[in-house]
Amino acid sequence: MERVRIGFLHHREELHLYLPAGTRLGLTLLDAPGEWRLAAEQAIPALVQPALKVLESADRALVEATVARLSAHGAILRDHAPGGRWREAHVLPTWLVAVPLGELEDATAREHMLREQSRPEDHILLASLRKELGDLAGVPGSLGPPALWHMKAPVRTQWIERPQCGRILLEGPGGVMAAVDSPLRIVLPESALAQVGDVRVGIGFHWDHLERLGYEDTLEAWIEPGGHLGLVNELPLERYLTSVNSSEMTADSPHHLLCAQTVAARSTILATRGRHHAGEPFDICADDHCQCFRGCGTIREASALAARETAGQVLAWEGHICDARYSKSCGGIVEAYEHVWEDQPVPYMPSFRDTCAPDPHFLRPTSEEGWRAWICSSEDVWCNTEAFQLPVGLAYSDGFYRWQLRLERQEAADHIRRVTGLSFQQLLDLVPGDRGLSGRLRSLVVRTDAGDFIIGKELTIRLALWKTCLYSAAIVLDWEGDVLVITGKGWGHGVGMCQLGATRMALEGRPWREILHHYYPLTAISAL
């Protein structure tokens, strides 16, 4: 895989690009540098097919056998990569079994699975499918190579059966106008930047804002399934990674932190290319949903040095490139993969105490009182920003090891209704349910005048309890009259590398290979 396509603008009625001289718009050489406006014209939306993902594997025979078992439910075999380009990647091909929702007779199940949230009750839906699949853990190869993993519960997804099409209207300096077929390919002169205004950064999180960013190489404007415009940046993989390491962190971060971040990001794009945006014309998105990419205007020499030093290096486990997840701050205990995403454990992303020195006497809390005491305490762990000085560029991350937020009861009720679609008038109480191994809530009981409801997983809880997204689900809840007091630890899902913990390790002289082996046990660092 030499080049990567990143989707970074979506759902726009029009786009504004600042293009340099020498740019090619399609096959036409731009002789009027300046601002160009793009708008969709005669857009014909794509035909989108909602579906359920029930299995993902590189074992073609295993997938076909599963399709045969589920044929009565309308199972379809899908190539799980955009445009069938998986052959270019340095990973085994992955395949998908999708069951079209239209084939399901249970209208209630269909309604629930079409919701954006994943709730505990979603995991008991479609019992007939799970019964038919049986216990796949007993299938040879199902938990190791060549299979990646099986879904213990169906996952909502969608497929584009008919691609979007239409024409894009161009308006340039001096009112130059033309209409071209979608997609419009924009090739920039070597090393030149195209400036793009109002790029949304931190979508849905507490730092959500707009920036003007610069992009290199090739842009592609396309008409999305809904008829609006999207923008893709295509460039060499290693150039992309040079930006990611300082977009995820900052260019003034310690050198070995930038190196570790680059290897984790390289592994993630190679392992997940096309998996999270199947059917869309890009490999990965540019925001926290996948990996942060702020264009090439953010690149500094420190960013480039880290990419050069680690060129071609990836994390590998059992012959596979690792899907190396990471978050800003684990809060002191790294979370296990299966407590945040699919229920299948991933051996190289377990839960462990992120301590500066081994502590054989540490006992993970097992009660709600124990978790409350741990969340409210300060410990000698790598990401405890109360114990070390962050680089200037990461000063915005100070205060996320332990934090406290307050909101009115009515405001909390409004957030919960908005995110979950629950119908109630009065919010009576919020009661912690199941917790993961890092203390992050996996379920939350919402007590109301209309009865008790259960919401989860951890991201749904975070979205439901704050106007953007709560920093972490490692929280305890208290009421002071009609004011909800949320005390928490960490920032993000907590799985894999703790970026602030890795920063401190690098500041104390730990090399990037040691950092990666600490956060991704059982892995090897391999050259492509």
Structure confidence at residue 399 (pLDDT):
83
3-state secondary structure 34-95: EEEEEEEEEEECCEEEEEEEEEEECCHHHHHHHHHHCHHHCCEEEECCHHHHHHHCCCCCCE
Look up tokens 């190396």; give the residue. 324
> Does residue 287 register a pLDDT over 80?
no
Lowest mean pLDDT among 184-198, 211-225, 273-287, 383-397: 273-287
Mean pLDDT lowest among 69-83, 213-227, 405-419, 488-502: 69-83
Number of H-type helices and E-type strands within the chain: 11, 30
DSSP states along 175-240: G-EEEEESSEEEEPPTT--EEEEEEEESTTSTT-EEEEEEE-SEEEEEE-TTSSEEEEEEEEHHHH
Smallest Cα–Cα separation from 496: which of 250, 203, 247, 271? 271
Among the listed residues 21, 74, 47, 3, the one whose alpha carbon sits nearest the alpha carbon of residue 239: 3
User: Mean of the pLDDT values across residues 262-273?
Assistant: 90
Across 94-118, average pLDDT:
45
82: confidence class by pLDDT, cuts 50, 70, 90 = very low
pLDDT given at position 486? 97
Is the CB of residue 172 less than 8 Å from the CB of residue 36? yes
Stated pTM of the model: 0.81
What mean pLDDT comes out for the span 335-346? 86
pLDDT band at 125 (very low <50, low <70, confident <90, very high): very low
Which has the minimum average pLDDT: 36-40, 438-442, 514-518? 36-40
Instruction: Return the minimum-mean-pLDDT range out of 100-104, 204-208, 323-327, 359-363.
Output: 100-104
Question: In sequence order, which residues have a C-beta less than 8 Å from that of residue 370 and are 6 or more positions away?
Answer: none
Find the range with the poorest average confidence among 63-72, 74-83, 90-99, 388-397. 90-99
Out of 17-31, 47-61, 446-460, least confident range = 47-61
pLDDT at 374: 94
The neighbour count for residue 158, using CB atoms within 10 Å, is 17
The rounded mean pLDDT for the chain is: 80
Look at 25 and 145; give whichever has higher pLDDT: 25
Cα–Cα distance for residue pair 401/499, rounded to 1 Å = 12
User: Which residue did the predictor score with more confidence, 459 or 62?
Assistant: 459
- Name the more confident of 87 and 471: 471
Percent of the chain residues past pLDDT 70, beyond the cut: 77
